[in-house]
Amino acid sequence: MKNEKCIKTEKQWKERLSDNEYRITREAGTEPAFSGEYYNNKDTGLYHCKCCSEVLFDSGEKYDSGSGWPSFYKPKDDMVLAEIKDASHGMIRVEVRCPKCDAHLGHVFEDGPQPTGLRYCINSASLDFESKGS
Look up the CATH number of the domain holding residue 106.
2.170.150.20
Q: What is the pLDDT of residues 33-66, one digit of tens each?
A: 999 999 999 999 999 999 999 999 999 999 999 9
Whether residue 2 lies inside any domain: the answer is no
User: pTM of the full predicted structure?
Assistant: 0.91
Whether residue 122 lies inside any domain: the answer is yes
Which position has the higher pLDDT, 2 or 1?
Answer: 2
Whether residue 3 lies inside any domain: the answer is no
Whether residue 5 lies inside any domain: the answer is no
List, by residue number, the catalytic residues.
Answer: 121
Number of domains in the chain: 1
Question: Can you tell me the mean pLDDT for 96-124?
Answer: 96
Q: What is the pLDDT of residues 64-98, one digit of tens each?
A: 999 999 999 999 998 899 999 988 778 888 999 99
Question: Can you tell me the mean pLDDT for 95-120?
Answer: 96
Listing DSSP states for the chain in one string gives -TT------HHHHHHHS-HHHHHHHHH---PPTT-STTTT----EEEEETTT--EEEEGGGEE--SSSS-EESS-GGG---EEEEE-GGGS-EEEEE-TTT--EEEEEES---TTTT-EEEE-GGGEEEEES--
Whether residue 50 lies inside any domain: the answer is yes
Whether residue 59 lies inside any domain: the answer is yes
Structural domain boundaries enclosing 45: 10-131
